[in-house]
A and B are shown apart, each in its own frame.
Chain A
Amino acid sequence: MLDLRIPTGFFFTLTGVILLFMAFFDPNAHAALTDANVNLYCGLSMVAFGAFLLTLAWRASRRHS
């Protein structure tokens, strides 16, 4: 059966990288009510979450093989 952690991990890593790209490309972009670089923090958390899922999946596949 498909290990769901792989597509989910990839999705969040990719989306996180897109947000990080936005954060560096346009660091002053922010919505009306906040000055924080929302894309940077959210992007970092998403990349971390995606990498965590991929690591789990990688360790599980190593154990099986």
Chain B
Amino acid sequence: MKLAPVDYFILFLYFAFVIGIGWRLRSKISTSGEFLTSGHSVPVWITSLAFLAANLGAQELVGMSGNGAKYGIMTAHFYWVGAVPAMIFVGLFMMPFYYGSRARSVPEYLKLRFDEKTRALNAFTFAGMTVFSSGISMYALGLLLHLVLGWDFTRSVLCSAAIVLVYTFLGGLTSAIYNEVLQFFLIVVGFSPLAILAVTKAGGWSGMSARLHTMTLPTGQAGDVMVHSWKYMAHTADNPLGIEVFGLVAGLGFVMSFGYWCTDFLVIQRAMAANSMSASRRTPIIAALPKMMMPFIVIVPGIAALALSQMNVGYSLPMKNGGPDYDQVLTTLMGQFYPAGMLGVGLTGLMASFMSGMAGNVTAFNTVWTYDIYQTHIRPGAPDHHYLMVGKITTFVGVGLSIATAYLAQHYNSINDLLQLVFSFVNAPLFGTFLLGMFWKRTTGHGAFCGLLSGTCAAAFTHGLTLAEGKGAWLANVHEFPSSMAQNFWIAIMAWTTCFVVTILVSLVTSPKPERELVGLVYGVTEIKHEREANWWARPVPIAIGIALLALFLNFYFA
């Protein structure tokens, strides 16, 4: 693929705007709170889109369209079974405690609810994970730009990291959040025309279905499996995902999605920045609407690519080492459908997604490092301007560590699977801790700590004892899964169950906090204020019901 001068011009225009937004917001930053938490001042439409965009990294766009070509519409389970219910749940039931407790971060909530050691465990693992995720996504971007455009890996990684560094350094969390909204729009504008063009060329949904019906997938199943999300979910052997209904609903739908959307500070931080309790509750719920539509922009083009490759129109799936290279599906489609000009917009959209994901990681890392690690363990009681300075320095350190991780990540090939694996080690047990912590006042700090630790160990053991696609089984090979995806789901299930059981058992033999210390932190001892907005339809519950019905409809329609 070759870029024209106009494509570069659009890319530079975008760079100028993101840095400009950071520059305009720099004068608003005078305290560490304004730099690291936006001082609870951001309007709800902005926090909602930022909530979504922070999660919408380049590996999501590239990985999900690749998965569209590999697994078909079943990939939408990540959205319609995974993300949406979890986003509704966190908005309705968990934001009242995150926002109401006035905690500045998720680890700080754990400190208020439990104790210092639980906070420290979460803060350190989370800080490590953000650096890891942002490094992986940086690596993915550098590799892709090198493959597709021939750009130098090191130069494109350093250049995009430098831009993220500049605007987060200037305007802190507010700048990251504001730019995430611009980036979100750019992703939609840059990629939805591709979906329309590719699907139209492949004969619409019905044309694609007819085309795929006659083919056989590399995994041996009939191509019809690509256009049904539920029809082939009864047995692991029936679908290319290698997973059945229980593993999907319990592993992805419950443990992994709730573990991510309800406890990951990267996204929760956006909802915490909202300007009122009601706005913070509506943030993830409103974000669920565009989230639900993302499969049409990221997954459907992947399915269309597979259909096009069967049609003799001059398109074939990109190849690597004799097999399809799914990570290049999105960019090859762009090259086949976009002329100079729109190609620049598409490429800018890809850069935007990378930057939104990276800025999300960097700002979350900043806050957790400054408040939960530095202020707590290294230098407590310093004046606020000291923590502002530490926050700013941490921005540099976070970006530097991400770059280092990007080079480490070169050892792994499938980006999405690896990220899921990391999340199942860290996030899956965490949701057990929060569920018990928020809804059962008897849960103790010792219980939470032991549960988290044993849950993470259970995740590691499950990975060590099972094999999938040649990965895992570094202890012994007890069981073999048909796919990495299935293995990840089961790791998550084992980790969550272990954490849940151990937390209950240890809590029962240790003494709980007195109830007066739990006000604002736990259901049952906290008075939940009823929403008093003028219009009933602007309240969190009616919006949540509408979104849930729409998600249900999509599941049935594409079943």
How far is A14 from B6 in the complex, measured between Cα atoms in Å? 13
How far is A30 from B314 in the complex, measured between Cα atoms in Å? 15
Which chain A residues border B337 with CB–CB below 8 Å? 31, 33-34, 38
Q: Among the listed A8, A42, A49, which residue makes an inter-chain contact with B181, where contact means beta carbons less than 8 Å apart?
A: A8
Which chain A residues border B197 with CB–CB below 8 Å? 33-34, 36, 38
Known: A19-B342, A33-B313, A34-B337. A7 touches B193 (CB 8 A): no
Number of A interface residues, CB 8 Å? 30
A46 contacts chain B at the CB level, 8 A cutoff? yes
A41 B25 Cβ-Cβ under 8 A: no
How far is A2 from B181 in the complex, measured between Cα atoms in Å? 13
A51 contacts chain B at the CB level, 8 A cutoff? no
Which chain A residues border B315 with CB–CB below 8 Å? 33
How far is A18 from B21 in the complex, measured between Cα atoms in Å? 21
A4 B339 Cβ-Cβ under 8 A: no
A2 B178 Cβ-Cβ under 8 A: yes
B324 contacts chain A at the CB level, 8 A cutoff? no
How far is A14 from B41 in the complex, measured between Cα atoms in Å? 29
B101 to chain A, nearest CB (A): 25
Which chain B residues border A41 with CB–CB below 8 Å? 193
A61 to chain B, nearest CB (A): 15
Which chain A residues border B308 with CB–CB below 8 Å? 33
Q: Output the residue of A15, A30, A41, A42 with the most chain B CB within 10 A.
A: A15
Query: Which residue of chain B has the shortest Cβ distance to A23 in the bound complex?
Result: B341
**Interface hits, A20-63 → B, CB 8 Å:** 22-23, 26, 29-34, 36, 38-39, 41-43, 45-46, 49
B180 to chain A, nearest CB (A): 10
Q: Output the residue of A4, A19, A29 with the most chain B CB within 10 A.
A: A4
Interface string of B22-49 (1 = CB under 8 A from A): 0011001000000000000100001000
A42 B193 Cβ-Cβ under 8 A: yes
Q: Among the listed A7, A34, A36, A39, which residue makes an inter-chain contact with B341, where contact means beta carbons less than 8 Å apart?
A: A39
Q: Among the listed A7, A32, A38, A39, which residue makes an inter-chain contact with B21, where contact means beta carbons less than 8 Å apart?
A: A7
Which chain B residues border A18 with CB–CB below 8 Å? 6, 9-10, 13, 341
B182 A39 Cβ-Cβ under 8 A: no
B287 to chain A, nearest CB (A): 16
**Interface hits, B272-317 → A, CB 8 Å:** 308, 313-315
Which chain B residues border A36 with CB–CB below 8 Å? 197
6 contacts between A and B (CB under 8 A): A1-B28, A4-B21, A4-B46, A8-B181, A10-B17, A32-B314
B contact set with A: CB distance below 8 Å: 6, 9-10, 13-14, 17, 20-21, 24-25, 28, 41, 46, 178, 181-182, 185, 189, 193, 197, 201, 308, 313-315, 335-343, 345
Closest 4 A-B residue pairs measured CB to CB?
A22-B341, A33-B336, A29-B339, A39-B341
